[in-house]
Each structure stands twice: as structure tokens, then as C-alpha cells.
Amino acid sequence: MLNIKELYCIVEDEINSLKISKSPKNLYDPISYIMNIGGKRMRAILLLLSNQIFSKDLNLALKPAIGIEVFHNFTLIHDDIMDNAPLRRGVSTIHEKWDANTAILSGDTMMIQSYQLMLNTPEKYLSEVLNLFSDTAVSVCEGQQFDMDFEDVQQVTLQEYLDMIEQKTAILLATSLKIGAIIGGSSKEDANDMYEFGRNIGIAFQIKDDLLDAYGDPKKFGKKIGGDIDANKKTFLFLKALELCSTTDKEKILKLFDSKANLKNKKNQVMDLYDKYEVYEVSNTKILYYHDLAIKHLNNVSGENKEPLYDFANQLLKREV
């Protein structure tokens, strides 16, 4: 049984061995760039962790795992364009280093490449895996659209937000785990429990990401702190603050998130309101709630070799990046 660090090394070696064309240079250089600026490789590793619970032949799941990783990085390229984000993993985003048109086209190519890699799934499971992967790809796009739509409406409920992050973020983690289980020959019940483990841990992951965007260490987080506040994003922290605050403070925070005032002053005022209503503590409680739900589903999964997944879930609670 391989642990997370060992699987990370395998995934990195496989990514480094990808045959990325050299021409046209401005199409493929950005792909090499995004695939080689680091990252946790979480989705690929989760696919392999799930697979090794049910199978001893990890090689059958390796190409699909890289396909998931390529697809994830494609979504990051397009997300960064939509968010006008200057940094990704501590370095310039592709649209900043090249331009938006180049980033769009390179991202499109990566999406196709992800399907080419997914086609390496064993024939026995190929149809099921491709259908799941395709449904997930559509859901990720739907989640991104909801995320953008939320920027233009004043009223968004917490449940609507949780539904959005399930589609945008959690579902790809869930699908990674389920694909790994399917290729490993698991039962349908175990594959579904792996999916639910990933879905819940994915929601916890995104709330943690919201938290780190506001409270993280910029040297560790790899993105600009307060970027969600600058972009008027309706994150878990923002929506929870609206639930908890007084009428006066609610009007204040809504005005701040609709304001073009000095950004530095805006961030400070928002953070003061978050601190006043203990949004940090409330967010951590919600993260723990979804973490515990995830663990219950992992407990239901038959078979051994689950310890790395328990470790992964617990590391989520401590992560700073």
C-alpha cells in the first residue's frame, strides 16, 4: 500500500513524462507551465488512494488519474481568467503571463487531453467512467456559472452557496474517488460511499479555502489574501456574516461588497466585521461538520488500506495552502 507522499511522486513522474507538443509554442508552453508550477495533485492522488483499496494493480488507474489532474488544471486556467486573478500557486496566472486568448485556447486543449487520458480506462469500466466524468465536467461548468451569477445578485442563501461549491469543487473530488473505486473493481455500494466521502470532504475543502482567502498566510497560501473580498465574492464567510450580524452591520457589509471604495480600507472593514461575529470560528465548525460526514461514509467502505484517506481528511483540518 502506497501513502500520499509516494503517490504524489508517482503522479509527478507521470506528469513529467507527458508528451506535450512543442508547436505551436504559444499553445503548448502555457500547458507545460500550469502543469509544472506545483500543486497538491489532490484529485489524482485521491483516485489512486481509492483504487488501491480495491486493487493491487495501480497502473490501470494511473492514466485516468492524470486525466483528472489535467482537467482540474484546465478549469483553473479558465477560472483565473473569469476572476481576473493575478496569481496561481504563488506565480503569475497564464492570462497574465501570456494573454486571455492564449489561456482560453490552451485550457480548451487541456480539456480534450483529459479525455484522451481517460480513454485509457480498462474497457470493462470505460463506459461507466466516461459517463461519470462527462456528467461531472458539465456540473463543474454549471457550478462556475452559478458562482459568476452570484456576483450580480444581492440575495444568495447559504444553501444556494453550498449547492454551488458542491458542483464547482466537491463533485470533482467525489468523482476522482469513485472512478478509482470503479477501476479497482469495487461494489456499487462502496463506489457510492467513496463518492459521498469525496463530496463532503470537498465541501469542507472549499469552505476552508474561503477561510484561508481571508485569514491565510500569503507566503503559504499562494494566492492574494483578501482576493474574494476585493472581487465581492459571496463566500461562506460573507453569507454567514450576513446571517449573524445586526441590521446596521448587515447594511454596512452589503454596502462594502457593492462599493468601489479604497480596497485596502474595504478589506480592513470587512475583516473587522468577520471578527466581530466570530466568522472564523463558525466556519471552522462547519468544516468539521462536513469532515465528520465524510468520515462516516469512509467508515462504511469495505476493505483495508483506508488509512491514507483518513490521514488526508484529517490533514484538511490543518492545511494552510
Q: CA torsion, points 97, 100, 89, 27, in degrees to nearest 10?
A: -70
Instruction: Give the Cα separation of 42 and 255 in Å (integer).
Output: 37
Q: pTM for the full model? A: 0.91
pLDDT band at 233 (very low <50, low <70, confident <90, very high): confident
133-189 pLDDT, tens per residue? Answer: 999 999 999 999 998 898 888 789 999 999 999 999 999 999 999 999 999 999 999
Kindly give the residue spans of alpha helices, DSSP state H, lying in 84-230: 94-97, 100-118, 123-150, 158-165, 171-183, 188-215, 218-221, 227-230
Instruction: Give the Cα separation of 190 and 74 in Å (integer).
Output: 29
Q: Find how far residue 136's CA is from the centre of its chain.
A: 13
Q: How far is CA 315 from CA 42, 47, 74, 291, in A?
A: 12, 17, 25, 11
Give the bridge partners for 59, in sequence order. Answer: none
pLDDT of residue 142: 97
Domain extent listing, the chain = 4-318
DSSP code at position 185: T
Question: What is the arithmetic mean of pLDDT over 250-275?
Answer: 85
pLDDT at residue 26 greater than cutoff 90:
yes
Instruction: Give the Cα separation of 39 and 222 in Å (integer).
Output: 10
Q: Give residue for cell 486571455.
A: 100
Q: Which CATH architecture has domain 4-318?
A: Orthogonal Bundle (1.10)
pLDDT at residue 317 greater than cutoff 90:
no
In our burial notation (b when 16+ CB lie closer than 10 A, e otherwise), range 123-137 reads: eebeeebbebbeebb
Instruction: Give the Cα separation of 138 and 168 in Å (integer).
Output: 10
SS3 113: helix
Contact 225, 270 (CB under 8 A): no
Q: Find how far residue 70's CA is from the centre of its chain.
A: 13
95-122 pLDDT, tens per residue? Answer: 999 999 999 999 999 999 999 999 999 9
- Axis crossing angle, helix 59-83 with helix 25-35, rounded to the nearest 10: 110
